[in-house]
Structure 1
Amino acid sequence: MRMVAGYGQVPSSVHNIVTAQTPAIFSPGLSTEGIYRVSGNKSEMESLQRQFDQDHNLDLAEKDFTVNTVAGAMKSFFSELPDPLVPYNMQIDLVEAHKINDREQKLHALKEVLKKFPKENHEVFKYVISHLNKVSHNNKVNLMTSENLSICFWPTLMRPDFSTMDALTATRTYQTIIELFIQQCPFFFYNRPISEPPGAVPSSPSALASTVPFLTSTPVTSQPSPPQSPPPTPQSPMQPLLPSQLQAEHTL
């Protein structure tokens, strides 16, 4: 899927191709172990790429490609663009923003850089990151956490020049930046509050509410166990599960 583009900006047809591929990945892909990590069949991927070269509106629902084939083709597609989806000049700004020590200030600085992306790049990046965020929320089944997904995707989304020492030393930074975009997708693209880091206990009721969009306003009260001798300690309130924060915002 080779395309010609000006420096830093992807052509509008890229959005059509990406939005055509992700629905074929989305439903079965959420439960596919190692999605985006496990390679697809090379010949099938090449066949899919040829068909997309001929028809950017190809309906994959009518085709018999495996999830890993479609996922692999999409990764290959980004690696073959004339310029990376994350423009090189934006990568410099993202790395500088990532150097900020304060977590909230860092995320806000990254968001400001994101606003400078060319329009088409921003829309496609938003779509891809939203999809990866959705995949990561099912990591107990597919084993693809935001970290694992960022390891798979940052090289194709950013494609740094590894001939320079700066790029070699910044590889971990690039991966972490993409991981933050996946983790904080609702904040970066849907005007939601910053969510707590994975595994962290919300520090306040408001922080808890921001990470659980469908949390009701009525508090859950503790229910003591039936009287025994000696009396047991009352049970703690049930902790709500963390849902996909995009369920109401964006369906891929």
Structure 2
Amino acid sequence: MVEQRVEPAKKAAQVIHKKLLGCLQSQLGLDTERRMKKLPLMLLSVSMAESFKDFDADSSIRKVLEMCCFMENHLAKTLAEFELKLEKEVLEPLNKLSEEDLPEILKNKKQFAKLTMDWHNALNKHFVVSCGSFSLLHTVDMVIHSLQDQYSADLYHFATKEEAYANYFIRLLELQAEHHKNSHDFLERNITELKEKFKAHLTSMATTNNSRGKVYGEPLLTHLYDSGREIAVPIQECVHMLLHTGMREEGLFRLAAAASVVKRLKSSLDGGVMNHSEFTDPHAVAGALKSYLRELPEPLMTFELYNDWFQAAGKKELTDKLEQFKIVLKKLPSENYNNLRYLVQFLSCLSEQQAVNRMSPSNIAIVLGPNLLWPHMEGEAALLDMASASSVQVVAVVEPLIKYSSSLFPEGTVPPSMFCLLVFRGGVLGVL
């Protein structure tokens, strides 16, 4: 029975060794560190490390990718250690068994069988035994018995070692179980930690966003108080983006952009998370700015001063008109005044490029004026008024504000071109 197990054992060792080699993800003969570098898990970890660098420090994706990068790196190391153990404790013994130990037994078996067959063939041919032939026969008989003894010893050795050979396959399963358990425990522990950190991050972000307060549709004073700012986020952010991308854009504030892009930009401004490089369409930026002004519960130029603005605009003499405008401007709450001044000086800067962008003070006033001043009415009446004759009157108010901004906003005022330069450098709040 033992004799019949040798050939199947050799075949099993060869086949399983070959298939097991195909399961490996690393190269044989390397230490743990060098194995890791070639593993797909390690390449995945490196890709994650390169990817999260592109996100800002507060990004949820960055924080998750950082943790995933660490975890994939650890899994790669665990896998490299597992495959190194597998090579030493399973693959090498199987290879020795299939390529050295068992082939030697089969070789002795083959030699013994051949010599025995040759011996019997010679006897069957009635070999004539001479006096000198007895010595030869004796020698052959000794060789046969020697091979038989060696083969028997090999079989005995195989029989005593068969349990150890079978243990190679048990060891394979043990190593796999150990590897998968370690990986599972590590993943379970760190995924739980990752979820807790991610939840805490989201809570922190939500708290931060709540502390900022909602932007669109909220009263100007509420937003400025919650955010601790002097200039409203949509006004300042949109002005910055337009100074970079929109000053020479024809029809700015007049041409509409894709509604989906405007909506996404408004969501970013509302959430307090802005990436200027993500929004490259100046018309979308202008649309988001117009939308903010239009959605204010009270216009930037206030309900209370609605009639005062029209009375000032009705003065025929320019000097009288500007003096009346200055009087009305002084009546504005400081928050409204600061934001109106910031916006108007930008619009004045924009109008300097009218030869290219076709946006003169008059054209700007036509498209933007109704978003700065409207009467205190509700529902459809207010919407109708924005499209009625009173909107024409609003143009008469807003156009001179843009055209004569340097005169109307004298304190700390700089020429529009200098205003643009200061905004680029981030110093405008110190001047205005």
TM-score (norm 2): 0.42
Tell me, in whole angstroms, the C-alpha distance in 1 between the residues paired with 2:394 and 2:371. Answer: 11
Report the aligned-residue RMSD: 2.7
Ranges in structure 2 where 5+ consecutive residues have no aligned partner: 1-214, 424-432
For 1:190, which of 410, 413, 425 is the aligned residue?
410
Check conservation: 1:20, 1:60, Cα contact below 8 A. Answer: no
Q: Which has the higher contact order (CA 8 A, sep 6+)?
A: 1
Tell me, in whole angstroms, the C-alpha distance in 2 between the residues paired with 1:28 and 1:166. Answer: 33
SS in 2 for 1:84: coil
SS in 2 for 1:34: coil
Where does residue 176 of structure 1 map in the other structure?
396
Of structures 1 and 2, the larger Rg is shown by: 2
Check conservation: 2:233, 2:269, Cα contact below 8 A. Answer: no
Matched, 1:71 2:286: yes
Tell me, in whole angstroms, the C-alpha distance in 2 between the residues paired with 1:106 and 1:23. Answer: 31
Closer/same/farther in 2, CA of residues 23 and 100 from structure 1, 3 Å limit? same
Please identify which structure carries the higher helix content: 2
Where does residue 314 of structure 2 map in the other structure?
99
SS in 2 for 1:247: helix
- 1:67-106 alpha-carbon deviations (Å, 9 max, x no partner): 1111111101111111111101112111112222221011
Tell me, in whole angstroms, the C-alpha distance in 2 between the residues paired with 1:51 and 1:119. Answer: 27
- How many residues in Structure 1 have an aligned counterpart in Structure 2? 198
Counterpart AA for 2:415: Q
Identity %: 23
Counterpart AA for 1:23: H
Closer/same/farther in 2, CA of residues 28 and 4 from structure 1, 3 Å limit? closer
Where does residue 245 of structure 1 map in the other structure?
415
SS in 1 for 2:301: coil
Where does residue 150 of structure 2 map in the other structure?
none
Where does residue 218 of structure 2 map in the other structure?
4
Tell me, in whole angstroms, the C-alpha distance in 2 between the residues paired with 1:70 and 1:185. Answer: 23
- 1:24-43 alpha-carbon deviations (Å, 9 max, x no partner): 11132111111111111100
- 1:159-185 alpha-carbon deviations (Å, 9 max, x no partner): 334848998443322111100000001
Tell me, in whole angstroms, the C-alpha distance in 2 between the residues paired with 1:60 and 1:78. Answer: 21
For 1:53, which of 263, 270, 283 is the aligned residue?
270
Tell me, in whole angstroms, the C-alpha distance in 2 between the residues paired with 1:169 and 1:37. Answer: 19
SS in 2 for 1:88: coil
Tell me, in whole angstroms, the C-alpha distance in 2 between the residues paired with 1:61 and 1:50. Answer: 13
Counterpart AA for 1:184: Y
Closer/same/farther in 2, CA of residues 24 and 166 from structure 1, 3 Å limit? closer
Closer/same/farther in 2, CA of residues 140 and 119 from structure 1, 3 Å limit? same
Where does residue 235 of structure 2 map in the other structure?
18
- 1:116-147 alpha-carbon deviations (Å, 9 max, x no partner): 11111111111111111001000001111111
Counterpart AA for 1:62: S
Where does residue 260 of structure 2 map in the other structure?
43
Check conservation: 1:21, 1:60, Cα contact below 8 A. Answer: no
Tell me, in whole angstroms, the C-alpha distance in 2 between the residues paired with 1:248 and 1:64. Answer: 25
Counterpart AA for 1:38: L
Check conservation: 1:24, 1:60, Cα contact below 8 A. Answer: no
For 1:114, which of 324, 329, 342 is the aligned residue?
329
Ranges in structure 1 where 5+ consecutive residues have no aligned partner: 194-243
Closer/same/farther in 2, CA of residues 99 and 68 from structure 1, 3 Å limit? same
Q: Equivalent residues in 2 for 1:211-250 (5 A)?
A: 245-249=415-419
